[in-house]
Amino acid sequence: MEEQVALVIGGILGGLLLLLLLMVVSRCLWKRLRATFAYEELSGTTAASSTQGHKLCPPDARTQASRPPGVPFVVPPSLQSQDWVPLSSRERAQAPQDPCPAPELLPHATRSNLGDACMVGTINPELYKIPEDKSETHFPEGCLGRLRFSVEYQQQAERLLVGLIQAQRLQAPSEPCSPLVKLHLLPDERRFRQSKTKCGTTSPQFDEHFIFQVPSKSITQRVLRFSVYHVDRQRKHQLLGQVLFPLKTETLAGDCRLIWRDLEAESLEPPSKFGDLQFCLSYNDCLNRLTVIVLRAKGLQLLQDDTSFVSVLVKVSLMNHNKFVKCKKTSAVLGSANPVYSETFSFEADPAELDTASLSLTVLQRAKGDRSRELGRVVVGPYMYTRGKELEHWNEMLSKPKELVRRWHALCRTTEP
């Protein structure tokens, strides 16, 4: 009797478990069927509301946001638990004021206004646009104009191809500007190439090409100079500005390069006794970075008694309490009294160290056997070390963070060579 009762109870419990399992399976199948029907209905809504969507959105937005008709819309699993705007009426949900919001606002839409977009589940192309580079259209204060050109060197033929493309915003005199450009390959000052004169414009379009025959052994020691002139009514040439472009190895590598350069005013001051050095200073207080750009020198007094000299270079030294912290050197330029470098160096310097730090720039003439002789030097820094123009240059750099401050400085010699 007891065994029969146990069997009956076991059968009842087994039946209940089986019934519970069937209920769970049925519920899961029902959820999947409902989700499938909802996806099909949402996909059909796209075609049904296409006519109305054309009225709400401009043609560009409709083209960018449209989806192939055969691809159904699927809600990601991570968003299935959220509340969605019902689309059972086969009409696109509309915002009360703006039916097609601006693309830049789409990524910030909340769950309550997801239906306000022109098309749900599409990619916003505004997020993938590359920011526009405004470096070519931004002209700093006091800019004399800008020149665009191209440079290419053919190694086998030993030919330098220079393309003069255009100039922009030339600072012309009162009368209408008629610019032309002369090209010199320094240190040769006698021979030059000249463009045609463009009348009545401050932004001339030249589109002219010139060829210089230069041996490959000396190409890296040459400097390309563009001199921009205004031709007045008496056919006299007035210099508006110039561009100096050193022909370094890295600038000549590869194919033809398009280059923008700002015009510089020609220095009319005579060189000092031992020559002058031009360089830029800049300090970035966010990165604690001190930047020095060695541009060029002029009027150097080369030591002619030593006929074995090879080249001229500039040594840039960062000092703190008159102790050397770091030293960097420019590339060597073959013995020229007016070398052009245009090389950039960066040093790490905390703001607290700027009161005791200084920069020493030394021009060296290197001879055979790694012997170097000092042609002159200049030191810029705080009041502790410098006075006059050197102190003004340092203070102007600190007062204009992240800006390049350019100046000429006279070289001096501590000891007679």
What does pLDDT average to over the chain?
Answer: 77
Pairwise CA distance, residues 266 & 202, whole Å: 19
Pairwise CA distance, residues 177 & 367, whole Å: 48
Q: What is the predicted pLDDT for the residue at 329? A: 92
Q: What is the predicted pLDDT for the residue at 57? A: 45
Assign 60 a pLDDT band (cuts: 50, 70, 90): very low
Q: What is the predicted pLDDT for the residue at 104? A: 46
Q: What is the predicted pLDDT for the residue at 140? A: 63
Q: What is the pLDDT of residues 193-219, one digit of tens each?
A: 999 999 888 889 999 999 999 888 888
Q: Residues 348-364: what's their mean pLDDT?
A: 92
Q: What is the pLDDT of residues 291-330, one digit of tens each?
A: 999 988 888 888 765 544 568 899 999 999 888 899 999 9
Pairwise CA distance, residues 400 & 382, whole Å: 15
Residue type at position 123: I
Nearest to 275 by CA among 189, 334, 361: 361
- Sign for the CA dihedral angle at 96, 102, 106, 108 comes to negative
Peptide bond before residue 187 is cis, with ω within 30 degrees of 0: yes
- Can you list the positions of beta strands (E) in 232-332? 237-246, 257-262, 276-284, 289-298, 309-320, 323-329
Percent of the chain clearing pLDDT 70 (strictly above): 69
Please give the residue that has the higher pLDDT: either 111 or 131. Answer: 131
Task: Answer whether residue 110 shows pLDDT above 70.
Answer: no
Q: What is the predicted pLDDT for the residue at 283? A: 93
C-alpha dist (Å) from residue 123 to 61, 98, 158, 351, 406: 11, 20, 52, 45, 47
Percent of the chain clearing pLDDT 90 (strictly above): 22
Q: What is the pLDDT of residues 67-95, one digit of tens each?
A: 555 555 666 666 655 555 555 444 444 44
Please give the residue that has the higher pLDDT: either 10 or 74. Answer: 10
Q: What is the pLDDT of residues 115-165, one digit of tens each?
A: 444 456 677 776 665 554 444 556 666 678 889 999 988 888 888 899 999
Q: Where in the chain is CATH 2.60.40.150? A: 142-263, 275-411
DSSP for 268-290, written as a single string: -SPP-SS-EEEEEEEEETTTTEE
Task: Select from 3.40.190.10, 2.60.40.150, 2.60.40.420, 3.40.50.300 the CATH code of 142-263.
Answer: 2.60.40.150
Superfamily designation of domain 275-411: C2 domain (2.60.40.150)
Pairwise CA distance, residues 217 & 236, whole Å: 38
